[in-house]
Amino acid sequence: MLKFLNILFIFFVATIIHWICLLVFSSLGINIGIMLAFCLIMAGLLGEKAGYTFAFISGLFLDFFGNTLFGGYALVLTLVMFMFYIIQDKIDFKDIGPQIVVTFVLNIICVLLYGVLGSIFTGNFIWQGFKSLILGSAATGLLMPLLYWLTVKYLSFKPLRGDNENKAIF
């Protein structure tokens, strides 16, 4: 139960950081994928079932406050987690280099998949611009090691760990 509450707290912190980044960077035309970064972190730290669940709930959170394609982000983040789990065995996601590169590439894929979903369901490709795509993906990739380190430090804090809990939370 303690592990579930820790993950719920991480989700809450992720939503706060997401909204702060929206407030700060939206005036510059940059969309940073903070929720994608936290989904990748949780996918790297937890099992597949918990990673998919975290990604789907994060996507629903983004869809709930968005104004187009309800369910689109939930589907896209779940598909991106599927891609991440395919390549996870081939990389060491605990190192800084792979974190930056994988997050950069998967953020670009996430934005493009969301655009394709928009063209399928609304007839228009949802595009935020090339500047937002590249700078947002680069910023997400560069923030990823810091977010990963903070999350690992938080989860490894002794009073927050349940001694009798295993890796699976669901």
CA gap 80, 24 in Å, rounded: 26
- The CA-to-CA distance between both ends of the chain, in Å, stands at 10
With beta carbons less than 8 A apart as the criterion, state whether 61 and 12 touch.
no
Reported residue count of the chain is: 170
pLDDT at 128 over 80: no
12: tokens are 């809450």
Would you place residue 12 in the very low, low, confident or very high pLDDT band (cuts 50, 70, 90)? very high
**pLDDT of res. 121:** 84
Contacts of residue 42, Cβ cutoff 8 Å, sequence gap at least 6 = 7, 10, 50, 51, 54, 55, 151
With beta carbons less than 8 A apart as the criterion, state whether 75 and 117 touch.
yes
**pLDDT of res. 132:** 80
Place of tokens 């940059």: 30
CA gap 161, 154 in Å, rounded: 10
Q: Return the CA Rg of the chain.
A: 16
Model pLDDT for residues 23-45, shown as the tens digit of each residue = 888 777 777 888 999 999 999 88
**pLDDT of res. 60:** 92
Residue 52: DSSP 8-state: H
pLDDT at 166 over 70: no
Helix (H) or strand (E) holding 1: none
pLDDT at 165 over 70: no
Mean pLDDT of the chain: 85
**pLDDT of res. 91:** 87
Angle at 139 between CA 135 and CA 142, to 5 degrees: 140
Model pLDDT for residues 43-96, shown as the tens digit of each residue = 988 888 888 999 999 999 988 887 777 888 999 999 999 999 999 888 888 889
Place of tokens 């972190």: 41
- Identify the top-confidence range among 20-24, 73-77, 153-157: 73-77
